Amino acid sequence: MRGNGNGNNDERWVRKKATGVRAWLLLQANGDTEVVEAGKHAIMRRTGLPARDLRILDPLLSYPSTVLGRERAIVINLEHIKAIIIAHEVLLLNSRDPSVTPFVDELRARILRHRHATTSNPKLEMDNPEDGGMKILPFEFVALEACLEAACSVLENEAKTLEQEAHPALDKLTSKISTLNLERVRQIKSRLVAITGRVQKVRDELEHLLDDDEDMAEMYLTDKLVQQQFETSSAEEDHDGDAMDNLLQPDIDEDGTHPEISLEPGGANTSDEDHQNAQHPSSLLRRDSRASTTYSATTKQLDVEELEMLLEAYFVQIDGTLNKLSTLREYVDDTEDYINIMLDDKQNHLLQMGVMLTTATLVVSAFVVVAGIFGMNIKIELFNPDIAGMREFLWTVGGSTAGTIFLYVVAIAWCKHKRLLE
């Protein structure tokens, strides 16, 4: 029985893997959290996203940092955060990752504060921030801000940690060039290049969003949902208004004239206006709809500016992190240049020593020539003990040594004159 149970579990796991079923953490607008297991098609139906957008969140694929605004959802792929934001809920993919747990707690706290603010002061959520109060951000912007803050904070902390490790290692390398210090600096430089690339991708994504107002407008999920509900209710009211128009149309006399309603001064005009409004009750709705549409467009423009300010705040933060990494990269490059200068200086000293030793070998070889000549088996007066003795031998050896030293001094002086030696 146990073996069959394990077999069923393995079969279920293989089936889930084949169909792409993953565990998603669902955070709703009221603060409730729930872990749901859903496949790709279920997520597509729930969020209205195409399959290519879901591939961005696939942990098996390597995609750069991306923030996409779609009709009904916002796709977030920033560092360790892979989420889908809808108008009233957030779907988080890798919620069991230990690095994501603090973000989940922070996001839930922000959602609860947002819910408390909207329930306690519902008027602040309306489009009237000019009366002195602060306008509450929509739900999707609260979640988006949490994602941006978490990603920027992680990158900033990694950059700060790397900077704290880099400066002592570089200073130690400048004081003592060794294999261990060079290896430490090499590892630090590799980490620096990797972090710089990640920060640059996030910065480029934020810059792309700031440069395109249409992409920012796509992120107003709550406004689009409210507008859609308003259009639906307006269509229903127009339909009801047409029905009421048919019911409330006044009777017409046989001669084709309308009955009089009032004989007071101005009564005819009033009756005509009331009759026109009664005949066309939907005209007021259309005027209200046009006014609401104009007000909504103005508010959307202000909201785009508000989202732009939100994105600019984190763009400045990530740009500061990038500048900090650029400064650290310049410090590493300066240290490398200094190390190369020191190595070149040592190499020059070694070359000068090589020149001096080569010159010494050359002049000593002249003395060796003299010794070789005297080593030949020939008969000369210097070898005759009756004519020459120790005194002549010492003069010969001393003269050869003095000549060798003289040649060496001349050679070194010539090299210094030609600036071949310092």
Distances (CA, A) of 238 to 177, 250, 411: 83, 20, 110
Band (pLDDT 50/70/90 cuts) for residue 401 is confident
State how far the Cα of 87 lies from the Cα of 141, in Å rounded to an integer: 10
Distances (CA, A) of 50 to 9, 128, 257, 264: 31, 35, 61, 66
Lowest mean pLDDT of 137-151, 194-208, 240-254, 405-419, name the range: 240-254
Sign of CA dihedral 151, 152, 154, 155: positive
Which of residues 154 and 16 earns the better pLDDT score?
A: 154
Residue 76: what pLDDT? 93
Band (pLDDT 50/70/90 cuts) for residue 2 is very low
Residue 6: what pLDDT? 52
**pLDDT averaged over the chain?**
78
State how far the Cα of 91 lies from the Cα of 78, in Å rounded to an integer: 14
State how far the Cα of 132 lies from the Cα of 121, in Å rounded to an integer: 14
Band (pLDDT 50/70/90 cuts) for residue 124 is low
Lowest mean pLDDT of 86-95, 351-360, 386-395, name the range: 386-395
State how far the Cα of 13 lies from the Cα of 237, in Å rounded to an integer: 51
The greatest distance separating any two alpha carbons of the chain, rounded to the nearest whole angstrom, comes to 175
Is 80 exceeded by the pLDDT of residue 200?
Answer: yes
Q: Is 28 left (phi over 0), alpha (psi -120 to 50) or beta?
A: beta
Give the angle subtended at the CA of 297 by the CAs of 304 and 70, to the nearest 5°: 55
Residue 249: what pLDDT? 53
Neighbours of 78 (CB within 10 A): 23
Band (pLDDT 50/70/90 cuts) for residue 268 is very low
Which of residues 268 and 320 earns the better pLDDT score?
A: 320
pLDDT in tens, 314-371: 999 999 999 999 999 999 999 999 999 998 988 988 888 888 888 888 888 888 887 7
What's the mean pLDDT in 278-297? 40
Is 343 within 8 Å of 182 (Cβ atoms)? Answer: no
Distances (CA, A) of 10 to 14, 23, 38: 6, 17, 18
**pTM of this structure:** 0.69
Which of residues 325 and 265 earns the better pLDDT score?
A: 325
pLDDT in tens, 175-195: 888 899 999 999 999 999 999
Is 32 within 8 Å of 25 (Cβ atoms)? Answer: no
Distances (CA, A) of 197 to 37, 96, 134: 33, 26, 37
Band (pLDDT 50/70/90 cuts) for residue 284 is very low
Share of the chain above pLDDT 70, in %: 75
